[in-house]
Amino acid sequence: MSHQALARKWRPHNFSEIIGQEHVTQSLINALIHNRLHHAYLFTGTRGVGKTTVARILAKAINCENLIDANPCGSCTSCLALAEGRLIDLIEVDAASKTKVEDTRDLLDNAQYAPNSSQYKVYLIDEVHMLSTHSFNALLKTLEEPPEHVKFLLATTDPQKIPATVLSRCLQFNLKRLTISQICQQMAYILTEERIDFESDALTLLANAADGSMRDGLSLLDQAIIYNAEITVEVVSLMLGSISDQPIKALLQHLADNNALELLNKIADISELSPDFSMIIQKIIYLLYRLVLIKSAPDILKNSEDKLLLEELSVLFSVEQLQLYYQIALLGQKDLMLAPQPQIGFEMIMLRMLAFNPQSVVQQTNIAPPIVTVSNPAIQQLSNPSSENIEQPVDKVQEKIENPVVNHNWLDMINTMNLKGFVRELANNCVLDQVNENQCQLLLDNKNAHISNERLELKLEKSLQDFYKRPLKLVIKLANLQINTPQVEYQQAAQQLQQEAVKEIDENKDIEALKLNFDARVLPDSIEPV
């Protein structure tokens, strides 16, 4: 029954053991070495990052009789008394339970008296922001003119609630939230010392759940040890009610394919694990953020552990799509609380991403383009593909498409195969080179090489096999194309439509009258063809 929580057992006892707060510890060490101790220190930061721990180590170092590299020795009379909780000259107060002005006055009445056995009398006030206004006023008087033998060490999670008059009389140190890698390294060290088997990925899950707090991370680690003697991904996932990255990857792949049915089926599979959907949304948001990073600055994540996953997913999305999905997921989190069931809210968030997917608009434009009058016969053919071409027998289609110059027949094939998502995007950027009994060869422009990957090529190959009704092998070769792809033709048609719309606005007599009589002006970027 003498078990001690990991957060208490492995609490740092000197500055060198503190993780991730070097900007604070180095300043305190320099102050001790050069004997430039201030009379009041304020330590701020979120819960579990080490505010009280740093304050206690500083209190120990201030009165230590044999400092070792500015660290308390831990063996002198003062250090031993403090470690055992019997140092009279350390007055530690929890301000949350001592908020009244009478408590503060009683506390400070003895400040004028010399310390009992130490060099300094140290007041360590935790959660100092909880003091009342009158208590702060009582404290302020002592902070203004402190006795030489008194040091104040204040700690708080909410410095905004502390009066500016108090803040101005303290040296303020803000302790940072710990990174996932820092928490993981400390957990791995502790588990190694405790001789407990663990998986690195399981520690990453715990560190993510700790949200920058070492104390929270060690408390979760304690819970995982109680749940199972070995710390594995499966154990931690069950304990936290979370899921691994694999289902998240599958959700994003179905999103890239614009496949609502598979997306909903995957969510149904996930729901059988009774997950915390808010945590899933958080993981999706974080993954989208990292995908934007790797798309915008590829070298920034070159040493990341999940680099392969990020590279695999990054080719499926444009930066604009990732930014859109990030915003939808971020704003959609409230749906989980307002929806009848969290799963419904989560499904609506994912379906909203599909509904506003720019690729969906492109597909609709490709499948049902507007009826326009254009002089270029090739563009006219693209805008209004005839049913005669689509319904031709396979052998006649093959006879024509073996000539890459007759490019619009490749578009007829794309429409007939009903390609979607990034598979259609890949096909739209290719031209048909040749087809024989065993092989279909496409040409892809060198500048668009990035849009092709093995997964998309396999899907396009399967569609071609279904179209020709035989096991063709798809070969995509890179080349400097001199012929327009369907995608280029669409862009040219859209550009021509835009030019005609601008011309029509410029020649409109009513708009000309508005310009003359009301000094109106046309914003070219606001003109869109109907």
Q: Please indicate, yes or no, whether residues 405 and 464 belong to a single structural domain of this protein.
A: yes
Tokens of 527: 């003109």
Give pLDDT tens digits for 258-267: 889 999 999 9
* Cα 338 to Cα 341: distance, rounded to the nearest angstrom: 8
Give me the number of domains the chain comprises.
Answer: 4
Last residue of a domain, one of 149, 174, 199: 174
Last residue of a domain, one of 240, 257, 274: 240
Question: In 418-485, which ranges are continuous DSSP H helix?
Answer: 421-428, 454-468
Residue 363 lies in a domain: no
Question: In 272-341, which ranges are continuous DSSP H helix?
Answer: 277-296, 307-314, 319-338
Radius of gyration of the chain (CA): 34
Q: Please indicate, yes or no, whether residues 50 and 89 belong to a single structural domain of this protein.
A: yes
Q: Give the model's pLDDT for residue 244.
A: 65
Q: In which order are the strands placed within the sheet that holds 439-445?
A: 430-435, 439-445, 473-479
User: Residue 405: helix, strand or coil by DSSP?
Assistant: coil
Q: Please indicate, yes or no, whether residues 453 and 467 belong to a single structural domain of this protein.
A: yes
Residue 362 lies in a domain: no
Last residue of a domain, one of 295, 324, 356: 356
Structural domain containing residue 124: 6-174
Q: Please indicate, yes or no, whether residues 384 and 503 belong to a single structural domain of this protein.
A: yes
Q: Can you count the helices (H) and strands (E) in the chain?
A: 26, 8
Q: Give the model's pLDDT for residue 499.
A: 86
Residue 519 lies in a domain: yes
Question: In 228-303, which ranges are continuous DSSP H helix?
Answer: 233-240, 245-256, 260-271, 277-296
Instruction: State the amino acid at position 252 in one-letter form.
Output: L
pTM above 0.85, yes or no: no
φ/ψ of residue 145, rounded to 5: -130, 70
Give the CATH number of the domain where residue 349 resides: 1.20.272.10
Give pLDDT tens digits for 225-282: 988 778 888 888 778 866 666 788 889 989 988 889 999 999 998 888 778 888 889 8
φ/ψ of residue 249, rounded to 5: -60, -45
- On the CB side of 394, CA atoms within 13 Å amount to 11
Tokens of 200: 């690195």
Q: Please indicate, yes or no, whether residues 166 and 209 belong to a single structural domain of this protein.
A: no
φ/ψ of residue 68, rounded to 5: -120, 105
Tokens of 146: 């402190």
Residue carrying structure tokens 């990035």? 450
pLDDT < 50 stretches in the chain: 361-408
